[in-house]
């Protein structure tokens, strides 16, 4: 545990030094929230008022999971950092845990920032069920980050991790209804929204925003993705 906490502190210091990465993680979703909030969304067009904040959260956490995390770990391998770590008593799984803890904390910061700005700057309502929203948001965060850990375990270079992450990220936004909100998506595509991590996460958070319990299918989908990706990441992530 002491090794994991030490690694987490070190990785946190390195993470906050990368201002370019922090810009996309925090500024991009906040910018989207601001732009679309200024355009207005009162729910009269069939799009729930919770769509904008959950969309911003979905994108921000998606960037952390599919871009930031795998690129950091793959970059370590490419630069020989992991090779040098192989000479220490630290096991690979402890680095994965440290990165997971760091990025979960960053994801929570993104979520709180979006909720705060939405409430203070635009008068947006807060989730109707905070407990259920917290559950849905944390499950979404961990499911996205677990995919990033798996990418880092299978891809050997930062550029390769970026390519794989983008290949997953942009279709995820489409199936989650970022461009076409889920409730107005064609019926034939809605099942993909329900089982893909970003779609399941955004749908669960929207349900909790309305004060309802998140759909069972959405929760099961995120748990299944998390369990499978974490198991595979632990199996395939190695120093070399």
Residue 193 and residue 179: Cα distance in Å, rounded? 12
Give yes or no for residue 220 having a pLDDT over 90. yes
Q: How many CA within 13 A on the CB side of residue 230?
A: 16
pLDDT value of residue 151: 96
pLDDT tens digits for range 71-110 = 999 999 999 999 998 888 888 899 999 999 999 999 999 9
pTM of the model as a whole: 0.90
Name the packing angle between helices 51-63 and 130-154 (round to 10°). 30
Tokens of 143: 């499911």
pLDDT value of residue 125: 85
**What is the CB neighbour count within 10 angstroms for residue 146?**
25
pLDDT tier at 42, thresholds 50, 70, 90: low
Q: What is the CA radius of gyration of the chain?
A: 18
**Tokens 């993680």, located at residue:** 25
Q: What is the mean pLDDT of residues 108-124?
A: 90
Name the packing angle between helices 130-154 and 158-176 (round to 10°). 140
pLDDT tier at 183, thresholds 50, 70, 90: low
Q: What is the mean pLDDT of residues 122-142?
A: 93
Q: Where are the domains of the chain?
A: 2-236
């Amino acid at each position: 545990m002491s090794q994991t906490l030490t690694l987490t502190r070190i990785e946190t210091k390195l993470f906050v030094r990368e201002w370019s990465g922090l810009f996309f993680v925090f500024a991009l979703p906040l910018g989207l929230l601001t732009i679309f909030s200024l355009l207005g969304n009162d729910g009269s067009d069939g799009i729930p008022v919770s769509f904008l904040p959950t969309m911003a959260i979905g994108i921000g956490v998606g960037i952390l999971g599919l871009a930031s995390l795998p690129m950091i770990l793959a970059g370590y391998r490419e630069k020989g950092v992991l090779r040098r770590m192989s000479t220490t008593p630290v096991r690979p799984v402890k680095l994965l845990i440290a990165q997971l803890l760091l990025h979960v904390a960053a994801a929570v910061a993104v979520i709180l920032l979006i909720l705060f700005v939405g409430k203070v700057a635009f008068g947006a309502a807060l989730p109707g069920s905070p407990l259920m929203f917290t559950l849905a948001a944390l499950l979404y965060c961990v499911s996205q980050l677990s995919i990033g850990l798996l990418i880092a375990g299978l891809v050997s270079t930062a550029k390769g991790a970026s390519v794989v992450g983008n290949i997953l990220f942009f279709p995820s936004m489409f199936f989650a209804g970022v461009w076409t909100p889920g409730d107005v998506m064609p019926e034939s595509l809605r099942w993909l929204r329900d089982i893909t991590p970003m779609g399941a996460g955004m749908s669960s958070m929207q349900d909790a925003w309305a004060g309802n319990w998140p759909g069972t299918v959405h929760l099961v989908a995120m748990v299944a993705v998390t369990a499978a990706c974490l198991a595979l990441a632990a199996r395939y992530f190695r120093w070399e």
